[in-house]
């Protein structure tokens, strides 16, 4: 093994121990001690594999995984507490490759890492593409939106909302689905927050450039038609 591995684990003792073992096997290792820092590192750097604890301060492991999967398919092994069956199921549903229950034997972890890396094959390609509809282009790598080549400034949530709609063009998405994707599953609030962001997007794109991009489907949600 000689891979770049990111450990996202708030229990520093565990993180250090695993780091030493992985380095001993010839890997490069980075650590993050909370969810936000971990997500930031996972998104901004290249890693062959991520070890992700579920119970983390800041953002929990499942939320980190959910957000990571919008961008990258880096193999992820979740570290879960004993008997936390829900965490395992949710983790696998959210796109984890495997999980290991704490406390674990280091040999078992190393074996699972080898399996996860082999399954993915050599260097998993990053998601690198931009979406384009009706003169609107959205670059998922640079977080840039342009209309007829002219940059449009969007907030993060406006960007995520537009990306969801463009990725699912011609499919009507309801407010709840959009809210989960844009605000996160742990967001507690009214789904009409989506109507507010849609209004901002229309002001910045539809109205400003005189195009009919976002359509309302009454009683359901929104759709971008090609
Ligand atoms: Ca923890």
Which secondary-structure segment (H or E) carries 99?
strand 98-101
Alpha carbons 75 and 91: distance in angstroms, whole number: 12
Q: How far is the CA of 160 from the centre of ligand 1 (A)?
A: 28
pLDDT at 226: 84
Q: How far is the CA of 54 from the centre of ligand 1 (A)?
A: 6
pLDDT at 63: 93
- Proportion of the chain above pLDDT 90, given as a percent: 59
Q: How far is the CA of 118 from the centre of ligand 1 (A)?
A: 27
Q: Is residue 85 reached through a cis peptide bond, with omega within 30 degrees of 0 on the bond before it?
A: no
Alpha carbons 98 and 198: distance in angstroms, whole number: 37
Whether the per-residue pLDDT at 187 is higher than 80: the answer is no
Q: How far is the CA of 12 from the centre of ligand 1 (A)?
A: 9
Alpha carbons 106 and 21: distance in angstroms, whole number: 8
Q: How far is the CA of 58 from the centre of ligand 1 (A)?
A: 11
CB 216 within 8 A of CB 222: yes
CB 174 within 8 A of CB 190: no
Q: How far is the CA of 32 from the centre of ligand 1 (A)?
A: 12
* Residue bearing the bigger pLDDT, 112 or 88: 112
Out of 72-76, 86-90, 114-118, 202-206, pick the least confident.
Answer: 86-90
Out of 19-28, 40-49, 127-136, pick the least confident.
Answer: 127-136
Q: How far is the CA of 142 from the centre of ligand 1 (A)?
A: 32
What are the b/e assignments for 92-103, b being 16+ CB within 10 Å?
Answer: eebebbbbbeee
Whether the per-residue pLDDT at 195 is higher than 80: the answer is yes
CB 139 within 8 A of CB 130: yes
Q: How far is the CA of 57 from the centre of ligand 1 (A)?
A: 8
Alpha carbons 67 and 86: distance in angstroms, whole number: 19
- Residue among 159, 154, 156, 157 at smallest CA distance from 204: 154
- Residue among 84, 116, 104 at smallest CA distance from 14: 104
Average pLDDT of every residue of the chain: 88
pLDDT at 124: 43
Q: Which of 133-147, 171-185, 198-212 has the highest mean pLDDT?
A: 198-212
Confidence of residue 79 (pLDDT cuts 50, 70, 90): very high
Out of 4-13, 46-55, 64-73, 113-122, pick the least confident.
Answer: 113-122
One of 3.90.550.10, 1.20.1250.20, 3.50.30.60, 3.40.50.2300 is the CATH number of 4-120, namely 3.40.50.2300
Q: How far is the CA of 42 from the centre of ligand 1 (A)?
A: 17
Q: How far is the CA of 221 from the centre of ligand 1 (A)?
A: 38
CB 49 within 8 A of CB 116: yes
Confidence of residue 82 (pLDDT cuts 50, 70, 90): low
- Residue among 59, 28, 62 at smallest CA distance from 45: 28
- Residue among 221, 217, 223 at smallest CA distance from 175: 221
Q: Which sequence spans correspond to the domains of the chain? A: 4-120, 130-224
Confidence of residue 181 (pLDDT cuts 50, 70, 90): confident
Q: How far is the CA of 163 from the centre of ligand 1 (A)?
A: 32
Take residue 175 and report the two structure tokens written for it.
């407010």
- Encode pLDDT of 101-160 as tens digits: 888 999 999 999 988 888 765 544 444 578 889 999 998 878 899 999 899 999 988 999
CATH code reported for the domain at 130-224:
1.10.10.10
Q: How far is the CA of 107 from the centre of ligand 1 (A)?
A: 20
* Residue 190: φ, ψ to 5°: -80, 145
- Proportion of the chain above pLDDT 70, given as a percent: 92
């Amino acid at each position: 093994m000689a891979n770049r591995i990111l450990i996202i684990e708030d229990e520093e003792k565990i993180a250090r121990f695993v780091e030493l073992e992985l380095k001993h096997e010839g890997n490069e290792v980075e650590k993050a001690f909370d969810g936000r820092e971990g997500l930031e590192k996972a998104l901004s750097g290249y890693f062959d594999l991520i070890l992700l604890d579920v119970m983390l301060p800041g953002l929990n492991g499942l939320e980190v995984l959910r957000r990571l999967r919008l961008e990258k398919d880096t193999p992820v092994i979740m570290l879960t507490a004993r008997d936390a069956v829900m965490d395992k199921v949710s983790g696998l549903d959210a796109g984890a490759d495997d999980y290991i229950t704490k406390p674990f034997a280091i040999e078992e972890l190393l074996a699972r890492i080898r399996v996860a890396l082999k399954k993915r094959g050599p260097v998993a390609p990053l998601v690198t593409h931009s979406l384009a509809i009706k003169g609107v282009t959205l670059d998922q790598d640079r977080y840039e939106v342009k209309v007829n080549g002219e940059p449009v400034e969007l907030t993060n949530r406006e960007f995520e909302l537009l990306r969801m709609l463009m990725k699912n063009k011609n499919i009507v998405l309801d407010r709840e689905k959009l809210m989960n994707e844009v605000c996160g599953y742990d967001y507690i609030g009214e789904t009409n927050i989506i109507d507010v962001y849609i209004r901002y997007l229309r002001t910045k794109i539809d109205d400003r450039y005189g195009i009919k991009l976002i359509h309302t489907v009454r009683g359901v949600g929104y759709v971008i038609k090609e």
